């Protein structure tokens, strides 16, 4: 399993600096933003703070990626909404393709299943034109796709060639999912996973504050070892541990990222020992 350093784990860094940090802490990939919708989530203006890779950044970023031996796993984010004109995502996909990205993150915000499936399929086709596979994240924050079972259903409708499930530990727990639920999903339906921790196993649809203030793996209550063990061995894993309070306190991202990656590596090492045993 490859480890990727997610942009929001060190959100104050420019993408080129995130790549350098990823190399320092031993990550094979990064997760970057090449598009941010004007209204990502109702009442949420936080995404406007995320650094976005533009056409003007491509040459420098490609040079740094090559020099550091780091790839781009996921690019964010391209939600499915009612009445979506998918052409608004074309430039984001073009930038993603130019920097060698593999997957594009999407969420379902459209409560009309038939329309959402149609849009997801067309979005997946556009992504595929740029060498990208969609990663569909289920969230309590998106009632139209608020469980791993719903995500699996959507992927089955459009086909695994164009889409797969993105399984985030926070979203799994807050939507009432368990590692056993992950294990029941066909392996080919997954495309990536994301590791973080938090306090409590409560189910809620109101946890945006936690999404931007996560705990290091092992500092919370999530069953992360079982979660990782339930995933297919082929998925890439993002280390996604943002801390708005750390940024506000002007604490360097390097130590935070290093510890988050080290703990994630420990989880994966434990997984290897379990499977060898």
For every one of its 277 residues, what pLDDT tens digit does the chain have, with 9 covering 90 and above?
899 999 999 999 999 999 999 999 999 999 999 998 875 554 555 445 789 999 999 999 999 999 999 999 999 999 999 999 999 999 999 999 999 999 999 999 999 999 999 999 999 999 999 999 999 999 999 999 999 999 999 999 999 999 999 999 999 999 999 999 999 999 999 999 999 999 999 999 999 999 999 999 999 999 999 999 999 999 999 999 999 899 888 889 999 999 999 999 999 987 644 443 3
pTM given for the model:
0.93
Paired with 44 in beta bridges are 41
pLDDT, position 272: 46
Number of C-alpha atoms within 13 angstroms, CB side, residue 237? 26
pLDDT, position 189: 98
Place of tokens 């594009």: 104
pLDDT, position 37: 85
pLDDT, position 179: 97
Q: Can you tell me the distance from the alpha carbon of 51 to that of 33, in angstroms, rounded to the nearest whole number?
A: 7
Of 232, 244, 207, nearest in space to 222 by CA? 207
pLDDT, position 172: 98
pLDDT, position 98: 98
Paired with 76 in beta bridges are 33
Residues ≥6 apart with Cβ < 8 Å to 202? 174
The fold adopted by the segment(s) 3-276 is TIM Barrel (3.20.20)
pLDDT, position 1: 82
**3-class secondary-structure state, position 50:** coil
- Which residues in 90-100 are b (16+ Cβ under 10 Å) and which e? eebbebbbbbe
pLDDT, position 271: 64
Residues ≥6 apart with Cβ < 8 Å to 237? 1, 2, 3, 4, 192, 193, 194, 195, 228, 231, 264, 268
Q: Are 25 and 5 in contact (CB under 8 A)?
A: yes
């Amino acid at each position: 399993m490859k480890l990727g350093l997610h942009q929001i784990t060190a959100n104050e860094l420019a993408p080129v600096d995130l790549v350098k940090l990823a190399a320092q802490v031993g990550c094979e990939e990064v997760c970057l933003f090449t598009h941010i919708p004007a209204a990502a989530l109702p009442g949420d203006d936080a995404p406007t703070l995320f650094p976005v890779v533009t056409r003007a950044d491509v040459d420098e970023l490609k040079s740094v990626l090559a020099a550091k031996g780091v790839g781009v796993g996921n690019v964010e984010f391209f939600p499915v909404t009612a009445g979506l004109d998918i052409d608004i995502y074309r430039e984001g996909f073009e930038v993603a393709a130019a920097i060698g990205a593999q997957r594009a993150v999407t969420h379902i915000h459209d409560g009309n299943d038939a329309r959402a499936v149609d849009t997801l399929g067309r979005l997946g086709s556009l992504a595929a034109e740029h060498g990208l596979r969609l990663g569909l994240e289920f969230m309590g924050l998106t009632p139209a796709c608020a469980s791993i079972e719903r995500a699996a259903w959507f992927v089955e409708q459009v086909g695994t060639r164009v889409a797969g499930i993105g399984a985030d530990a926070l979203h799994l727990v807050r939507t009432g999912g368990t590692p056993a639920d992950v294990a029941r999903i066909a392996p080919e339906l997954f495309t990536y996973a994301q590791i973080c921790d938090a306090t409590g196993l409560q189910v809620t649809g109101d946890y945006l504050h936690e999404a931007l203030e996560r705990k290091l793996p092992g500092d919370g209550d999530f069953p992360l070892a079982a979660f990782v063990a339930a995933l297919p061995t082929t998925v890439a894993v993002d280390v996604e541990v943002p801390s708005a309070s750390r940024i506000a306190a002007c604490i360097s991202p390097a130590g935070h990222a290093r510890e988050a990656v080290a703990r994630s590596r420990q989880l994966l090492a434990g997984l290897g020992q379990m499977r060898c045993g």
